Structure 1
Amino acid sequence: MIERVNPPELGKPSGYSHAVAVDPARTGRIVFLAGQTALNQQNKIVGDGVVEQFENALSNLLAALRAAGGEPEDLVSVTIYIVDMDDYKAHAREIGAVWRKLVGTEYPAMAGIGVSRLWDVEALVEVQGFAAVPIERG
């Protein structure tokens, strides 16, 4: 069981949960997901802007999660590495719409971290996370 915890004494979160608790008795598998960028199958970064690259990176992360037996709602923690924080924040609504389209409205514990560059110099974002896959699917 995954429980999203947002205590009233903390500010209301938007696009993340303050904490996510996992019941180990009902979690069959913990899946650690490597950081994903907007790489396509030919190992080329695709997407002209941060929104398109975020969608491609998140899609890659979800493909890895599904291959390990998980679903988007199983995500318990996600970290987003961002090359240009101002550009990312300027497109926050569009990025949020991409999240809701691909994952839904349940949010894991999340962090956004500004970095000077990523492994692939063309990459604007990288998405990394882990998931708790329930016993019945794990």
Structure 2
Amino acid sequence: MSVIKRIINTASTYPPVGPYSQAVLADRTLYVSGCLGINKDTMKLVDGGAEAEARQALINLGAILKAAGSDYTKVVKTTIMLGDIQSFPKVNTVYQEFFTKDFPARSTYQVGKLPLGAAVEIEAIALTGDVKVESS
């Protein structure tokens, strides 16, 4: 039995800034590349620092999820990379605008430097199709 590997690229957000796909769907698991707070129309980071970049990065993430047949409720893991860990509380506030319950597993790190001098980068692993959520 073969597993289908589908490359996901959508014009609903900015194109990759390097040699990678926006996401790859392997069977029903979606691996979304790191999203930056780039405005797709200007191809520049949004103004406003980590908070504004996090919001735009999550909007961009949502566009990719939608293109693959998924959404925020089907995200199982996120990784947030911050240029400065001091922005952690502000990024958390924005994050809760998009993930409101049954939160995905998550890791957050301060990194040395992000592409394009970004303050925030967010990647995700999500599911597609019908997903039943259970809590224990």
Same fold (TM over 0.5): yes
Q: CA deviation at 1:101?
A: 2.1
Query: What residue ranges of structure 2 are gaps of 5+ in the alignment?
Result: 1-26, 132-136
Of 100, 112, 127 in structure 2, the residue corresponding to residue 104 of structure 1 is 100
- Aligned Cα root-mean-square deviation (Å): 1.7
Greater relative contact order structure (CA < 8 Å, 6+ sep)? 1
> Can you give the 5+ residue segments of structure 1 that lack an aligned partner in the other structure?
1-27
| Corresponding residue number in structure 2 for 1:127 | 122
Q: Distance in 1 between matches of 2:95 and 2:82?
A: 16
Amino acid at match of 2:53: Q
Which residue of 1 is the match for residue 54 of structure 2?
54
The alpha-carbon deviation at position 30 of structure 1 amounts to 0.7
In the alignment, which of 95, 111, 114 is matched to residue 115 of structure 1?
111
Percent of aligned pairs with the same residue?
27
C-alpha contact (below 8 Å) 1:77/1:130 kept by paired residues: yes
**C-alpha displacement at 1:128, in angstroms?**
0.3
**Contact 2:69–2:129, Cα closer than 8 Å, also in 1:** no
The 1-side partners of 2:124 and 2:43 are apart by 20
Q: Which residue of 2 aligns with 1:25?
A: none
TM-score (norm 1): 0.69
Q: Residues of 1 paired with 2:60 and 2:105: CA distance?
A: 19
Deviation at 1:97, TM superposition (A): 3.3
Alpha-carbon distance, 1:105 to partner: 1.9
- Paired residues, number: 104
Deviation at 1:135, TM superposition (A): 4.2
Please give the secondary structure, in 2, of the residue aligned with 1:100.
helix
Alignment match, 2:18: none
